Copies of this chain bind each other. A is one copy, B any other.
Amino acid sequence: MTEEAYLATYNIHDYDIPLSSVDVVIFTLLEDRLQVLLVKRGEHPSKGMWSLPGGFVDIKNDRSIEETALRKLRQKTGAKVPYLEQLQAFGSSTRDPRGWSMTCTYFALIFADSVHLHSGSGAEDVRWWPIENSKVKTKLAFDHADILKAAVNRLQNKVEYTSLPVHLLPKEFTLTDLQQVYEIILGKSVDKSAFRKRTKDANFLEEIAGKFRTGSNRPAQLYRIAPGHPTVFFPRTIGTNKD
C-alpha cells in the first residue's frame, strides 16, 4: 500500500483517542498582588465552577496549539499578544470526567489596564482572582489547581533570572515600578542598588529621554523595553540571600 492509499482510508473516528485541549494561565498585577484570570464555567462538566480559560482545539481554524492559546487569550481579554510561553502538558485518564484527556497549558503575562474582560461563549463570568501561596480562594475545575501551581512555580523561578516581569507593566515605567513587580512575585524585598545595577547592565531597557514621573520627590526616569530585546537572562539569580 502506498502512503497515499493509506491516508485515503485513514479515519480518525476509528480510534479511541484522548480529548485534547489548551488552557491558559493569564497573570496580571492588580492592587499590588499577582492575580490570575478565571472563568466561571457555564457548561458541563463542572458547570458553575471557576476554571482557567481554555478549551478544545478548533481544528478548522487553529493552525497550531499556540494559535489556540492566543485565540483563548483574545476571546477573554480582548488584548493583543502579551508575553506567552508554553508551560506543560497534563494528560491522564482521570483529569476530565469525559474521558482520557490531554491539555497543553500556556502562561501569559499582561498589563491589567490593557484588558477588557469578556465572558464569551460557554462562560457565565470572568474575573481576576488574587493568588496567595500559589492558590486562589475557590476550588477550581478539573486539575486546574495543579496547573495554576505549576504556572506560579515557573513564574517565580524565571523571575529570579530573567526580565519577564516587564510584561506586567505598562509601556512606560520607572525602575522602582519594575523592582516592585519583582518583589511582589518573589514575595520578598530586593536590594535597590543591586537591582538597578543588574537591570542596567542587562541592557534590555532604554531611557525615554527627558521623560520623568514627578511627584513630591525627585522625579523618576521613565524607561521602555528596548526594541529587539526580548527576554533577558541574567548571569545569576536575584534575591537568594536576603529574607
CA–CA, A64 and B88, complex, Å: 14
Q: Give chain B residues whose Cβ lies under 8 Å from the Cβ of A104.
A: 89, 91, 102, 104
User: In the assembled complex, which residues on chain B have CB atoms less than 8 Å from the CB atom of A236?
Assistant: 235-236
A25-64 vs B, CB cutoff 8 Å, 1 = contact: the mask equals 0000000000000000000111100000000110110111
Interface: A243 (CB within 8 A): no
A80 at the interface (CB under 8 A from B): no
Residues of B within 8 A of A16 (CB): 12, 59-60
Q: How far is the CA of A10 from the CA of B56 in the complex (A)?
A: 15
A190 to B17, CA, bound (A): 47
Q: Are A57 and B102 in contact (CB under 8 A)?
A: yes
A132 within 8 A of B: no
Query: Which A residues between 60 and 102 are near B, CB-CB below 8 angstroms?
Result: 60, 62-65, 68, 86, 88-94, 97-100, 102
Assembly CA distance A110 to B10 (angstroms):
36
So how many copies of this chain end up in the complex? Answer: 2
Min C-beta distance of A191 to chain B, whole Å:
17
7 closest Cβ contacts across the A-B interface? A65-B91, A6-B44, A59-B100, A64-B92, A89-B104, A89-B89, A20-B20
Pairs A–B under 8 Å by Cβ, sample size 25: A1-B44, A3-B45, A3-B47, A3-B97, A6-B44, A6-B45, A7-B97, A12-B16, A13-B13, A15-B56, A17-B19, A17-B57, A18-B20, A20-B20, A57-B100, A57-B102, A63-B93, A64-B91, A65-B92, A65-B102, A86-B89, A89-B104, A102-B102, A104-B104, A235-B240
6 further contact pairs, Cβ within 8 A, besides A10-B98, A20-B91:
A12-B99, A16-B60, A20-B20, A63-B92, A65-B89, A86-B89
Chain A residues at the B interface, C-beta cutoff of 8 Å:
1, 3, 6-7, 10, 12-13, 15-20, 44-47, 56-57, 59-60, 62-65, 68, 86, 88-94, 97-100, 102, 104, 235-237, 240
